[in-house]
Structure 1
Amino acid sequence: MSALQERPPCPRPPGAPRWVALFHRPAGAGSWTVGAQSPYRAPVLYAVGIMTRTLRARGDEVTVALWGPKDGAWHLFDTPAAAEDPAPATPSGQPAPGPAEPAGLTERMTGRRHQVLLAGLSKAGLYDLGPEDDEAVRALADRLDEPTVRRVAHWLSVAGR
């Protein structure tokens, strides 16, 4: 959606204030859907950047609304920069952790990349992995960003067909 077009009215998310990204795709159902939510802003902004880029690459128009806590209540924040660019990245391509982001989130994201790679290997027909294989998968999960891991898993699943 261009900057000159008006954003459709966005409903406030239910529940306690937290960081929530809502997406509106006119070509879809035309309603707002939750795309990402977290108690922390950085992972939501990262997800907004990735999802927006993916949808636009498919040729979809997308509008993003970013809700978050402000003074203990819901607040609708501006999102143009978040929709164009994911959260700042480190030299390795990983999103830079936000100041309030716990170390547990980083561990969960690494675990998720590890699971995605293992699923890709399974689809490629590699089920009986030894300790060396697991260590190699962990090394990849530590070093690659989420989009790259998904791409590698896709290659593996196509190879297994």
Structure 2
Amino acid sequence: MRSPEEKQRPRCPRPPGEPRWVAMFHEPAQDTWTVGAESPYREPVLYAVGDMTRTVRARGAEAAVALWGPGDGGWRLYGTPSAPPPTPVPERPAPGSAAPDRLAERMTDRRHQVLMAGLSKAGLYDLGPEDGEAVRTLVDRLDEPTVRRVAHWLSAAGGPR
């Protein structure tokens, strides 16, 4: 059980700059708040908060988030929830569950986006059907770190000379 002192966190400071949607994460090791996500729109920030919170919890730590946004002509703190207890994760997916398929599809889409971004930075915008098939083949056969490396090479090739 944690002591009351451990449960209390310092008040989250207001983010700098003009009001926009900002998620601030508390870092217990440094006892500081840092910006985790920001956008003029609320939805992308909430999406990022969900992803970051799941990552922190997967590492066995507690996530503390403060959500700031525009309100009444200035900044408004929409909440500083301490993370609820992690939801139990089933040891095995239920038979017929689509969760592993959705994760695989998401990772494939992510690798595809990374590779397409690298091609765009290399100046290759007008891709034909054969190019699309080549990208799909690479995405299916390569893991994410390798796709990121290839995208980095393409970005460097298309950069200023």
Give the TM-score band, short-chain normalised: 0.5 to 0.7
Amino acid at match of 1:134: G
Query: Which structure is larger by alpha-carbon Rg, 1 or 2?
Result: 2
> What is the rounded CA distance, in whole Å, between the counterparts of 2:135 and 2:80 in structure 1?
35
Q: What does 1:1-150 correspond to in 2, within 5 Å?
A: 5-27=7-29, 29-78=30-79, 80=81, 114-117=112-115, 131-134=129-132, 137=135
| 5+ long unaligned stretches in structure 2 | 88-101, 103-108, 119-126, 149-161
Matches of 1:61 and 1:21, distance apart in 2: 16
Number of residue equivalences: 114
> Which residue identity is paired with 1:77?
Y
The change in CA–CA distance for 1:37 and 1:113 in structure 2 (over 3 A counts) is farther
Whole-angstrom distance in 1 between the partners of 2:114 and 2:144: 6
Q: Deviations over 1:106-144 (max 9, x none)?
A: xxxxx9864424589xxxxxxxx9743435758xx9xxx
CA-CA distance at 1:60 after TM superposition: 2.3
CA shift, 1:47, in A, is 0.0
Which consecutive segments of 4 or more residues in structure 1 shift more than 6 A?
Answer: 81-85
Q: Give the CA RMSD over aligned residues.
A: 4.2
Aligned to 1:89: none
TM-score, normalised to structure 1, is 0.53
CA distance in 1, matches of 2:19, 2:83: 19
**Structure-1 residue corresponding to 2:144:** 153
Separation in 2, partners of 1:40, 1:17: 11
Contact (CA 8 Å) 1:23, 1:64: kept in 2 or not?
Answer: yes
